[in-house]
Amino acid sequence: MFAHLLLLLLSFSSAFSPTSGHAPYAMRISCGARENVHTAPTNTLWYKDFAYTGGIPANATTPSFISPPLKTLRYFPLSEGPENCYIINRVPKGHYSVRVFFGLVNESSFDSEPLFDVSVEGTQIYSLSSGWSNSDNEQVFAEALVFLTDGSVSLCFHSTGHGDPAILSIEILQVDDKAYNFGPQLGQGIILRTARRVSCGAKQSKFGVDYSGNHWGGDRFWNSLPTFGQNSDHPLSVETSIKQASKSPNFYPEGLYQSALVSTDNQPDLEYTLDVDPNRNYSIWLHFAEIDQSVTGVGQRVFDILINGHIAFKDVDIVKMSGDLYSALVLNTTVAVDGRTLTITMHPTKGNHAIVSAIEVFEILLAESKTLLNEVRALQKLKSGLGLPLRFGWNGDPCVPQQHPWSGADCLFDSSSRKWVIDGLGLDNQGLRGFLPNDISQLRHLQSINLSGNRIHGVIPPSLGSIAGLEILDLSYNSFNGSIPESLGLLTSLRKLSLNGNSLSGRVPSALGGRLLHRASFNFTDNAGLCGIPGLRTCGPHLSVGAKIGIALGGCVALLVLVICSICWCKRRENILRAQRISAAREAPYAKARTHFARDVQMGRFHGHDNARTAAENGPSLLS
Ligand SMILES: *[C@@H]1O[C@H](CO)[C@@H](O)[C@H](O)[C@H]1NC(C)=O
Ligand SMILES: *[C@@H]1O[C@H](CO)[C@@H](O)[C@H](O)[C@H]1NC(C)=O
Ligand SMILES: *[C@@H]1O[C@H](CO)[C@@H](O)[C@H](O)[C@H]1NC(C)=O
Ligand SMILES: *[C@@H]1O[C@H](CO)[C@@H](O)[C@H](O)[C@H]1NC(C)=O
Ligand SMILES: *[C@@H]1O[C@H](CO)[C@@H](O)[C@H](O)[C@H]1NC(C)=O
Ligand SMILES: *[C@@H]1O[C@H](CO)[C@@H](O)[C@H](O)[C@H]1NC(C)=O
Ligand SMILES: *[C@@H]1O[C@H](CO)[C@@H](O)[C@H](O)[C@H]1NC(C)=O
């Protein structure tokens, strides 16, 4: 509750531009923590765990010294489904650095490192590779720059069958809208995944905060790179203050430019090689400052920058371009890489040595289109209505990342709305015991539904008749009862309808029976009492509930009358017999007189009414 209030305050206070002097929005979560945590050295606040879709809190082993010093994590066993997420709401619209640190469960039964995939807003940004927990610092987290526009952010972890995803921390840190503006494409549809960020010649790997960097930089982690290769260079570092550092929109810390690697006489080129995924586009950011005392002015150090052998920048003169000695220069370029390596070369053309302070490499990802919101909501209603087992997961987006769609839902890209839609549901033989909610009709693009072989009960939702394109509807071998909705007759595309093996009763809608006979295959057998088409029994007269009650009441009245009549008849017959027995002994007027008396009473009551008289005259005849 309190955390939520804080969240609200945070989202208000951070909806300002950096120039207004307000702090950027920052949400940090210590996964698995029951209380908020503050960590040294900057007294950073980590909120206690919230916004997760499932999983189990546990004690953590932090795999690297750069992992935040947190004691807990949350892991997601496969029994809770292949995808689990954190969905954080009330995030102001903006540009964010999103970072996830991975952890290891501190229990002997979790002996191997888990391998899994990470997605942000439906776009896969990272795939853990084996050895991540015991190799270099950069592999213990995933990070990406993403535009968030709909007030929330979803981070999902996708199982790949190698252990349970385990998450130590989540950070959602606002950066400038123009941060890493590599060109006109930067915007909502683009995600920049951090592939590498190195600080050349730095003595230590560090976060931006430790450099007292501006927080609008998103607390970047700079991995120290002591050398590009043996004897090829030497590190340089100074204390001199650097001009033009820590500027909008990227706010690079001054400290970044106070160290550098400089090439040596025996190897004038500086060459940095990075393993990358092939056939991707990369955005490369290079940082320079002339901090070498041997260079005192323009024209003394000039070099070309080549990327995979092609010249990206020609005749770079740091002093000239930055305007001074000890002044920061940032260059960026975008390259398409078709091989598996990316090589950045600084090749001197004037003076013998090249110099570089830092290198950042981002993979440019196109953000995936999500699934139509209405359809996501309908699937969530289905999930709870049908009582989908936990193992299905069904968290995050149904169709993206495309590498990890929900099982049981078939996706189709709708080019008109540029969203994913659901065109098939295949949940046959899954032991479902719930009911089929009416909301299924919100899945307007369904062509095929197979729910065969479950124990789904209740009525067939009449709304199914509004899914115009439905071709296959297999609800066989369930416990559906009630009658088949008339609306199914509206499904003109229906080719296959299997309702066999249920408890359905009543008349098969004539539209189905008539029309479908010719074009479609259908099966209504093995139900409680369907009728009305060839092969099934013929139906009785179609009666409303009122009519049925009427008939039942009428029956009761008739029975009552019959009982009364037979009692009276028996009585009368008894009297006559007795009278006969008495008159056999002597003259006995008693019985006859009584008969006449009864008749007189009837006559008197209906006196003057012809119809009544007829009835009255019939009355005694009933008795006799
Ligand atoms: C985590 O460790 C603490 C001691 O540091 C222990 O009391 C607690 O039971 C552990 N929790 C789990 C889930 O193992
Ligand atoms: C794991 O937990 C045990 C106690 O349960 C603790 O002694 C040990 O330091 C923990 N290991 C790590 C790496 O945190
Ligand atoms: C990055 O480079 C492009 C041209 O390639 C340029 O338009 C853009 O301004 C540069 N971005 C920054 C922040 O320097
Ligand atoms: C790389 O960028 C080019 C030009 O913008 C584009 O045509 C291509 O589709 C991109 N490739 C990938 C893999 O994103
Ligand atoms: C639905 O699933 C069942 C069981 O897996 C299968 O036998 C049946 O052929 C499927 N129905 C259709 C229409 O494909
Ligand atoms: C269907 O079965 C449920 C019990 O599962 C019952 O409550 C309901 O009245 C039945 N509906 C019809 C129309 O028979
Ligand atoms: C219809 O379903 C019954 C079982 O309920 C099955 O025996 C029969 O073969 C099915 N008919 C067709 C035409 O598929």
- Asked whether residue 420 falls in the same domain as residue 316, the answer is no
Is the distance from CB of 67 to CB of 30 less than 8 angstroms? no
pLDDT of residue 314: 97
User: Does any domain span residue 602?
Assistant: no
Nearest to 8 by CA among 91, 96, 94, 97: 91
CATH value at residue 251:
2.60.120
Q: What is the DSSP string of 21-82?
A: TPPPPEEEEETT-SS-EEETTTTEEEEES-SBSS-EEEEEE-SSTTS---SEEEE--GGG-S
- Asked whether residue 202 falls in the same domain as residue 136, the answer is no
CA nearest ligand 7 atom 11, residue: 523
CA angle 520, 524, 525 (to 5 degrees): 130
With a 6 Å cutoff on the Cβ, whether 58 touches ligand 1 is yes
Q: Which residues form the domain of 363?
A: 180-367
What distance in Å separates the CA atoms of residue 104 and residue 61, rounded to the nearest whole number? Answer: 5
Q: What is the number of other CB atoms lying within 10 angstroms of the CB of residue 21?
A: 7
- Asked whether residue 66 falls in the same domain as residue 196, the answer is no
CA nearest ligand 2 atom 13, residue: 61
100 strand-pairing partners: 142, 170
CATH value at residue 474:
3.80.10.10
User: Does any domain span residue 361?
Assistant: yes
Final residue of a structural domain among 546, 573, 608: 546
- Asked whether residue 340 falls in the same domain as residue 428, the answer is no
With a 6 Å cutoff on the Cβ, whether 61 touches ligand 2 is yes
- Asked whether residue 170 falls in the same domain as residue 228, the answer is no
User: Does any domain span residue 552?
Assistant: no
- Rg for the chain, CA atoms, rounded: 41
Ligand 5 contacts (CB < 6 A) are: 428-429, 450, 452-453, 472, 474, 496
Ranges under pLDDT 50 in the chain = 1-19, 545, 547-548, 551, 582-624
What distance in Å separates the CA atoms of residue 455 and residue 432, rounded to the nearest whole number? Answer: 6
Helix (H, G, I), strand (E, B) or coil at 512: helix
HSE-CB for 57 with a 13 A CA cutoff = 15
User: Does any domain span residue 623?
Assistant: no
| Tokens matching residue 287 | 């940082």
- Asked whether residue 46 falls in the same domain as residue 121, the answer is yes
Model-level pTM? 0.82
pLDDT of residue 617: 35
Q: How many domains does the chain have?
A: 3
Residue of 59, 62, 74, 106 to mutate, ligand 1, most atoms within 8 A of C-beta? 59
Could you read off the pLDDT of 592-605 as tens digits, one per residue?
333 333 333 333 33
| Tokens matching residue 80 | 């809770």
- Asked whether residue 186 falls in the same domain as residue 315, the answer is yes
Is the distance from CB of 526 to CB of 504 less than 8 angstroms? no
- Neighbour-count burial of 435, counting CB atoms closer than 10 A to its CB (0-12 exposed, 13-18 middle, 19+ buried): middle
609: left (phi over 0), alpha (psi -120 to 50) or beta: beta
- Asked whether residue 60 falls in the same domain as residue 186, the answer is no
The pairing of strands 259-263 and 221-225 is unpaired
